């Protein structure tokens, strides 16, 4: 393997670092927020853990800026559109979700979904070089 290939591989791998380190904050925040709200713990505790969820999302934005360098604004705009659509539709599903499951299990469901989604960056961290070799992707 040439030194250029090694450097490119390291570059792509370390671009994943913010999301690999930050994405666990999202499910942690969702789980703790849900169960502290369910058991009516002092109001500051759920608020603190919404900060964990927010930090996890910020790490994902940092990754997008780093990964889509030239097109970072477009990537963030597309994410904003999707986030707004989901945010507009979530109230339709949110009330039935929390009515049926409560805050604890409702947020746990969202936390489990976040865990499933957060596996993708770990897989790219582990198998990214193999995928790039297999599909011969060229990057500028």
The pLDDT tens digits of the residues spanning 79-129 come to: 999 999 999 998 999 999 999 999 999 999 999 999 999 999 889 888 888
The pLDDT tens digits of the residues spanning 40-64 come to: 999 999 999 999 999 999 998 998 8
> Distance (Å, rounded) from C-alpha 87 to C-alpha 98?
16
Sorted by where each begins, the domain ranges of the chain are 22-135
CB 22 within 8 A of CB 66: no
Which of 33, 21, 42 shows the shortest CA–CA distance to 108? 33
């Amino acid at each position: 393997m040439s030194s250029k290939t090694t450097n490119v591989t390291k570059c792509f791998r370390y671009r994943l670092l913010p999301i690999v380190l930050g994405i666990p904050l999202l499910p942690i925040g969702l789980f703790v927020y849900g169960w502290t709200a369910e058991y009516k713990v002092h109001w500051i505790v759920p608020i603190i853990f919404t900060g964990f969820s927010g930090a996890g999302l910020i790490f994902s934005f940092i990754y997008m800026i780093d990964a889509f360098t030239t097109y970072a604004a477009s990537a963030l705009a597309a994410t904003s559109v999707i986030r707004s659509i989901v945010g507009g539709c979530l109230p339709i599903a949110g009330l039935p979700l929390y009515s049926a499951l409560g805050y604890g299990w409702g947020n746990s469901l969202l936390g489990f979904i976040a865990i499933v989604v957060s596996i993708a960056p770990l897989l790219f961290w582990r198998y990214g070089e193999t995928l790039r070799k297999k599909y011969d992707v060229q990057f500028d």
